[in-house]
Structure 1
Amino acid sequence: MIAKVLVLLCLASTTAALVGRTQASGVRGKLICDGKPAAGVVVKLYDDDRGLDADDLMASGKTNANGEFELSGHEDETTPIDPKLNIYHDCNDGIKPCQRKFTIKIPDSYITPGKVAKKIYDAGTIQLAGKFPGEGRDCLH
């Protein structure tokens, strides 16, 4: 009986190590377009997985009528998560297909253990009218 319990404990420990530890992060901010609130803009919080693995979506939403948003989410990883915020918008975009997309990397100091983000990164007020480094277009987000 004791041997069975020890085997089960070892298996549980091994499984937990393979799955990883639960880590959380969050971000808030305000989006504006030409000085006016950018309402209804899609924002998504991801764990950036480099390589062949697809990024893990931790949370998504849209800005409110004032252009404000707040997202938080969690993911299980064996190594520290790499949180990032993707913003998809049409500010000053005319009739071009798809949406403009850019990414903001969230500092590691805003990663906390568990399922609830204890620190929320404040991205501040972001003027969407300008161009951003690494900006692209996204049709499928």
Structure 2
Amino acid sequence: MNSNVSKEDDTMATSNTSNDAKATPAADAKINAESATIQMQLDAVQKDVAELTRALTEYGKAQGAHFSGAARAKAEQLRGEAEAGLSYADAQARQAYATAEDRVRENPAASVAIASGVGFLIGMLMARR
């Protein structure tokens, strides 16, 4: 039974080979035309991918520049706000110092008593530790 199957396979292989060998020039031309068409389509796809890559690169650079500029502007704004806050705190501290100095000059005895009391309390707290 195996020998019959083997003979049939050999017969089919021979007939397929003979069909391939009998390819006509018209079939070859058709295959060549289809190959050329496919190659043109592949070239077009490759060109489109290159253009898309270039466009995405330019977009990325533009976005980077935009965000970089926005970050610089925000940093400058925050710096200005910090400097204004520092100036305000400095003015408040100078005003508080001047007010305290005026009070000490107006009432030196009370100031010495208050300073002594604060020192005593700090000493007591430190001694407990």
* TM-score bracket, shorter-length normalisation: under 0.3
Structure number having the greater helix percentage? 2
Larger strand proportion, structure 1 or 2?
1
Taking CA–CA contacts closer than 8 Å with sequence separation of 6 or more, which of the two structures ends up with the larger relative contact order? 1
